[in-house]
Amino acid sequence: QKEVEQNSGPLSVPEGAIASLNCTYSDRGSQSFFWYRQYSGKSPELIMSIYSNGDKEDGRFTAQLNKASQYVSLLIRDSQPSDSATYLCAVKNPNTGKLIFGQGTTLQVKP
C-alpha cells in the first residue's frame, strides 16, 4: 500500500463546475496535510494546508480532512481553464517529518 494515494486521472470538468480531488494516506498518526498545484514543467506551488478535521476554505478552494477515514480532499469551486494542472497531495510523516507526496491528479477544465 502506498503511503499517499491519489487517482492519477485525468479528471475532466466543465468550466464553472466543482472539481473534487481526493487523497488517502496510510499513516494514522499523520497530522499535517498539504495540497500543491503543479503546471506542466513547473515547480509545485502550495495552495492549501490543513491540520484539523473538517473544512478549510480559501477563496475558491476548500480542503477537507477526515482523520478517522484517513482521507483529505480538495474542492475547487467555479473551476476555470487556468486551474488545469496536476494537484499533488502531500502528507507529513509524523515520525520523520518528511513530506510524502502522492502521484498527483491531473485536472482538465474544459471551456
Partner 1 sequence: EAQVTQNPRYLITVTGKKLTVTCSQNMNHEYMSWYRQDPGLGLRQIYYSMNVEVTDKGDVPEGYKVSRKEKRNFPLILESPSPNQTSLYFCASSLYQGDNSPLHFGNGTRLTVT
Chain residues binding partner 1 by CB under 8 A are 31-32, 34, 41-46, 49, 51, 88, 90, 92, 94, 97-99, 101-104
For partner 1, the closer CB: 77 or 98: 98
For partner 1, the closer CB: 18 or 99: 99
Closest separation in Å from C-beta 55 to partner 1: 18
61: which strand partners? 58, 76
The residue behind cell 474542492 is 75
For partner 1, the closer CB: 79 or 104: 104
Which of 82, 74, 86, 81 is CA-nearest to residue 19? Answer: 74
Three-state secondary-structure class, residue 5 = strand
For partner 1, the closer CB: 82 or 96: 96
Cα distance between residue 67 and residue 77, in whole Å: 23
Closest separation in Å from C-beta 80 to partner 1: 23
Closest separation in Å from C-beta 103 to partner 1: 5
Cα distance between residue 104 and residue 102, in whole Å: 5
Give me the count of residues in the chain.
111
Closest separation in Å from C-beta 101 to partner 1: 4
